[in-house]
Structure 1
Amino acid sequence: MLARIYQPARNAMTSGQAKTKNWVLEFSPQEPRQIDPLMGWTSSGDMNSQIRLMFDSKEAAVDYASSNGIPFTIVDPKNRKQNVRSGGYGDNFATNRRVVWTH
């Protein structure tokens, strides 16, 4: 029952950073998923795959796993460089633009 501790990535559909500050503890699947012959749904008898614990810090997640005897691996996030423009979004509509702006 190996657990993975990681910080989730941001949603690809937005530029916001919501729900990326917490750390998550998830268990690795112990058995493969099977396809139900009648409905075609996938299912598994592994109940630990339903558990997803959220923590405020990496240290809190590690402490929880250590105190409960859960073996774990830590996946550190790859931080991206912030892209902050000097004029911001409003610079696209500036009236004092010296050059023609087109798409």
Structure 2
Amino acid sequence: MEKIDRFSSTDTHLPLGMPSNDNTLAPAPARQPTFPADAVARIYKPSRSATTSAKGRSQGWRLVFERRSTPVIEPLMGYTGGGDTLTQVALSFPTLEAALRYAERQGLTYVVQHSADSQQADKTAGANETARGARARKVFSDATLDRLGLSAIQGSYGQALDGAAGRNDPSGPKNWSTPMGVVRDPGLTLEAKRSILMNWAWTEYLMDQATTEGMPESRWPSRLGEVEAALLALERDVAAGQDALADRKAA
């Protein structure tokens, strides 16, 4: 028995500003979809061949596309064919998370197929991947704050990131048109603002890495500088508030 999870990703990342070293804002060019709108991807972990004990082919995850049209029989030679070239596409990823990130960046509708005997292994691998992701995000957060001259509050950001799941902090790119919108949102606590902005910066960093690796879906300008400018603005506001409070107490 196999377990299949179905997902639909329709969110697209639309940058609304230029890099932080340019004070003018201009609309970003429209992103051209890489795959047809009716494409449905299937993500699965290849099974190990029954005729070998090797594990090489069972490592990683594959992304393939479901057939969108009925195959036809070539009358002369009897070959099975069709006009749906997407069925010839097969992409490999080291982890399920990497495959999911790719499908979501592409705006693909996709299904995740788990074999019954691998579900427990997937849970363990997923937990390990989550832990590795959290450690990588923490290292990135500390390095970013150090570069911005905010290393003194690395601990505060660590606490904010650790509590993000408990607060159910929303995603920055999906809920605010600009990073400064997070800073100016009166409904957010300071910890929520810090975690949302740092996670947004982490997302932009990963997108930059995808561009460096030549992935075709990463063709729009990076907003990492814009997010870092918002982080600096947030901490300037915090410092100004603390100074004002100290002045009132002194008076």
For residues 30-88 of structure 1, what are the alpha-carbon distances to aligned partners after superposition, in whole Å with 9 as ceiling and x for unaligned? 011111001111101001000000000000000000000111011123239xxxxxxxx
User: Could you tell me which amino acid in structure 1 is paired with residue 114 of structure 2?
Assistant: D
Partner SS for 2:57? coil
TM-score (norm 2): 0.31
Unaligned runs of 5+ in 2: 1-38, 120-251
More strand by share: 1
Coordinate RMSD, CA, aligned? 1.4
Please name the residue that 1:51 is paired with.
Answer: 89
**TM-superposition CA deviations, 1:8-33 (whole Å, max 9, x none):** 00112112222111100010000111
Q: How high is the TM-score relative to the length of structure 1?
A: 0.73
Runs of 4+ in 1 over 3 A off after TM superposition: none
Aligned pairs for 1:16-95 (under 5 A) are: 16-77=54-115, 78-79=117-118
1: distance between equivalents of 2:56 and 2:98? 20
Equivalent position of 2:201 in the other structure: none
Q: CA deviation at 1:4?
A: 0.6
- Higher relative contact order (CA closer than 8 Å, sequence separation 6+): 1
**Residue ranges of structure 1 left out of the alignment (5+ in a row):** 81-103
For residue 43 of structure 2, give the secondary structure of its aligned residue in structure 1.
Answer: strand
Q: Secondary structure of 2:102's match?
A: helix
The letter of the residue matching 1:71 is T
Residue 11 (1) aligns with residue 49 (2): yes
